[in-house]
């Protein structure tokens, strides 16, 4: 179910991206193109957040509750890295 929802959202983004490509090819007004790009970015951020939430509620919880200390450290390091990357421009 989660995978289907994620794929549906990504395909919607793909369609929007094709629309932006068309806009650029047709020399659309710059601000309109930027607004569409911002909408795509917001949609991708939503998908990313949903994937992260699913990961936290499955893989991370399993690792934290497990007995393997290195695995706990690894998944926590991954989360930190993802957060650090999301704050870079």
pLDDT score for 89:
61
Domain containing residue 67? 2-86
- Please write the tens of the pLDDT for every residue from 2-15: 899 999 999 999 99
pLDDT at residue 88, as a whole number: 80
Q: What global pTM score does this model have?
A: 0.82
Q: What is the mean pLDDT of the chain?
A: 93
Question: What distances in angstroms separate CA 29 from CA 13, 33, 40, 46, 49, one per listed residue?
Answer: 20, 7, 17, 26, 31
Mean pLDDT of the 18-27 span: 98
Overall domain count for the chain: 1
In tens, the pLDDT along 47-73 reads: 999 999 999 999 899 998 999 999 999
CATH number of the CATH domain containing 72: 1.20.58.1000
CA–centroid distance for 36 within its chain: 17
pLDDT digits (tens, 9 = 90+) for 30-43: 999 999 999 999 99
Distance, in Å, from the CA atom of 48 to the CA atom of 65, rounded to the nearest integer, reads 24
Burial bucket for residue 52 (CB in 10 Å: 0-12, 13-18, 19+): middle
């Amino acid at each position: 179910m989660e995978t289907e929802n994620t794929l549906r959202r990504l395909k919607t983004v793909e369609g929007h991206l094709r629309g932006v490509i068309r806009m650029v090819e047709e020399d659309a007004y710059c601000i309109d193109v930027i607004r569409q790009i911002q909408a795509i970015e917001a949609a991708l951020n939503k998908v990313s957040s949903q994937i992260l939430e699913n990961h936290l509620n499955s893989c991370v919880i399993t690792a934290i509750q497990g007995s393997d200390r290195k695995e706990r450290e690894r998944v926590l390091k991954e989360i930190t890295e993802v957060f650090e990357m999301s704050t870079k421009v």
